Amino acid sequence: MAELLLFQLYGPLASWGEPAVGEHRPSATHPGKSQVTGLLGAALGLSRDQEEKLAALAGGYGLAVRVDAEGELLRDYHTTQVPPARRGRTFTTRAEELAVDDLYTILSQRDYRVEAAWTCALWATASAPYPLPDLAEALRRPRFTLYLGRKSCPPALPLRPELIESNTLKDAFAGYALDDRLGRLKRPERHRYFWEEPLPDGLASGFSPQEKLWVVPRRDRPGSRRRWQFATRDEHHAMA
Amino acid sequence: MERFVQLHLLTAYPPANLNRDDLGRPKTALVGGAERLRISSQSLKRAWRNSDLFQESLAGHLGTRTKRMGEEVFNRLVTSGVPKQKAHEWARKIAGVFGKLNSPSKEEQKKSDYDPYDPKWTHIGQLAHFSPEELAAIDALVQKLIETKQGPSGEDLNLLRERHSAADIALFGRMLADVPSFNTEAACQVAHAITVHKVAVEDDFYTAVDDLNKGEEDVGAGHMGETEFGAGLFYLYLCLDRELLLKNLGGDAQLAERTVEALVASTATVAPTGKQNSFASRARASYVLCEKGDAQPRSLAVAFLKPVEAGREGLLANAIKALEDERERLDRAYGDGDPNAVAMNTLTGRGSLADILAYAKGGLADG
C-alpha cells in the first residue's frame, strides 16, 4: 500500500509548454513535471527565485497523470507591440511603452488545449519536503493564484485534492472520478496514463503488459529556472 | 485580509471584431462542444491598462515624465552651496541613469557664448519616467551629496529601484530578460473571455462606390471586400492576489486601494479597441459578481459548458441564472464559498459598480 494525492485539472484553456525557442510555443497533451511542480510551488507560496526549494519539490514527489479528456488544439495568434530596446530608455507602464513612435510587432503562436481535463497523482519520495496532507491543504488554500500552464488559464473547478491509499496506480485513479460537471467533454473509451519510475514501495503500476505502451523521454524536469534549463525524464505510457 | 478577489463579468458586445487572428477573423474557442467567440486575456489587459480611465484613476501615482530632472538636481545643489562645476558633473551623473544626456556638439563649443555648465547639458534627450519611489531616491541622494560634499558613487546611482510603485506593473507584471532582478510577478490573473453561447462568425460582404466613376465604361464597384464579425455575451473572469499586489506596491495600502479601483472600473467599462471605428462596439458589463476569500480561486466557466440559449427569458437573464446557480452548486459541493459576495445586475437594477469597488478593496488597509 502507498499513499497518493490525487487532484483534477480543468479550465476552458490550458497550455503545457514544451521546449520552445522563438515564434511557436507548443503545448503537450498533458501536464508535465515542471508544470505540476510550479503549481505546487504556487500553492505553497514559493516564489520563482527560490530555486532550491523548487528543486526539492520536483525531486520530492513522483507524478502520474491520467488524461480524462484529450480535448483539441487551439492555436492563438499573438501579436505584441514593443518599443526597440535603447540604452537608457526604460518604461514604467505599458501605456508609456505604447506612446513611443518607433513601435514594432513581435509575432508568436501560442498553443492551448481546449475541452480537456486531467487527473494528477503524486506520491512522496524519501526526500519529500512536505507530507502529502500539507500539499492537499496548500492546494485548497493556495498562497498564489494557480493556473494551468499559463497565467491566463485559471482552473475552472476546485482541484479537489484527495488522499487515496492503493496498491496500484491504476486502482488509485479508478478511485478518483472526474467532476460530473465535465460531462459534456468528449471522453475517450480508453484513457491514457503517464507516470515516472521508480514507483514507491507497495505501489505497482497495475497495468498489464498489453496495456503498457512505450517509455518516452520528456524534457520537463526543472533544472535551473534562472537559466531556463530542463533535464529529461522518462515517461511511461499506458492505455486502459 | 482576504487574499483573493475574483471578478466575474458578463458583457454583451454588438457585432464586433475586437480581437483577430492571423486571417483577420474574430478569435474563437471550442467550449462544451460549441464554437464560441474569444477575446484573449492579452487583448483585454492592453485595453484596460492603456485606457484613459486607468490612467486617470492612478494619476499622481504613475510618476512624472520629464527631460529636466538633471536641471532640478543642479539647481538644488548650487543653491545649497555646491560649486557650479561639481554640481553640474553630479547632476549629469544622476540624470544619466535615466537616459542619454544632451551633449554640446563641437560647433556649439566654439560659440562665443558657450557655457559648459549650462543646465541644458544635464537634460535627457527624451522624456524619462520617474516613479514616486525614484523621485524620493533622487531627493535623498541630493541631500546626501550636499551634506557629504562628495560625488555620487556607483552604488548611489543605482536609482532604478527594484521595487517600484507603478500600479500598472504591480498588477500586470514585468519581465526583463536582461535584468531579472527587476522582474515583478503580476498580481492579477485574467482569463480569455468567452461567449456564454454558441456563435457563428459571420461575413459582411461590402462594396465601395467610386464617386468619380460616371458609369460610362465600367459600372462596377470601386472596391469589394469582406469583413468577418461576431456578436455575443462574453464571460470575463479575473483573479487578483491582493497580498501580492500590496507587496508589489511596497506595502502602500492607499495606492493598492486606488489600483483595485482602477482595475475593477476599467474591466467593467473599457472595451478592447480592435475595429472600433468600423463597429463602434463599445460596451459595459451588464453583470458583475465579486467574491473574496482565501480558498482556491476558480473561474465559473463550467456554468457555460452547456451553451446558454436565449429562450423566453433572453440570453442575459439565462446567463446570469446559469452563473449564479453554478456558483451555488459549486460552493455547496466544495464548501469554502464567499457568503458575502456582491453583485451588480443591470437587468434587475440591483447593485452598482460602487458596491463592487467598495467590496473589492475592503480590508486592504488592514494589511
Mutate to test the interface with A, among B198, B296, B325 (most CBs of A within 10 A): B296
User: Percentage of residues in chain B with pLDDT exceeding 90?
Assistant: 57
Query: Tens of pLDDT along B206-227?
Result: 888 888 888 787 778 888 888 8
Q: Is the pLDDT of residue B177 over 60?
A: no
Model confidence at B160, pLDDT cuts 50, 70, 90, reads: low
Q: What amino acid occupies position B362?
A: G
B151: number of Cβ within 10 Å: 11
Identify the pLDDT of residue B181. Answer: 65
Å between B104 CA and nearest CA of chain A: 19
Identify the pLDDT of residue A136. Answer: 98
Mutate to test the interface with A, among B298, B325, B328, B329 (most CBs of A within 10 A): B298
B208 strand-pairing partners: B223
Average pLDDT rounded to a whole number, residues B264-273: 94
Q: Which residues from A are below 8 Å from B190, CB to CB?
A: 152
Contact between B299 and A13 using a beta-carbon 8 Å cutoff: no
Query: Tens of pLDDT along B311-356?
Result: 999 999 999 999 999 999 999 999 889 999 999 999 999 999 999 9
Higher pLDDT, B11 or B276: B11
ipTM, 2 dp: 0.92
Inter-chain CB pairs, A–B, below 8 Å: 152
Q: How far apart are CA A193 and CA A112, in angstroms?
A: 20
Identify the pLDDT of residue B163. Answer: 45
Q: Is the pLDDT of residue B287 over 90?
A: yes
Query: Tens of pLDDT along A33-83?
Result: 999 999 999 999 999 889 999 999 999 999 999 999 999 999 999 999 988
A237 strand-pairing partners: A194
H-helix segments, chain A = 33-44, 51-60, 94-98, 132-140, 169-174
Q: Is the pLDDT of residue B169 over 80?
A: yes
Q: Is the pLDDT of residue A216 over 90?
A: yes
Distance of CA B229 to the CA centre of its chain: 25
Query: Tens of pLDDT along B184-203?
Result: 899 999 999 999 999 988 88
Decide: helix, strand or coil at residue A11. Answer: coil
Q: Which residues from B are below 8 Å from A186, CB to CB?
A: 33
Query: Tens of pLDDT along B33-42?
Result: 999 999 999 9
Least-confidence region, from A125-129, A156-160, B174-178, B192-196: B174-178
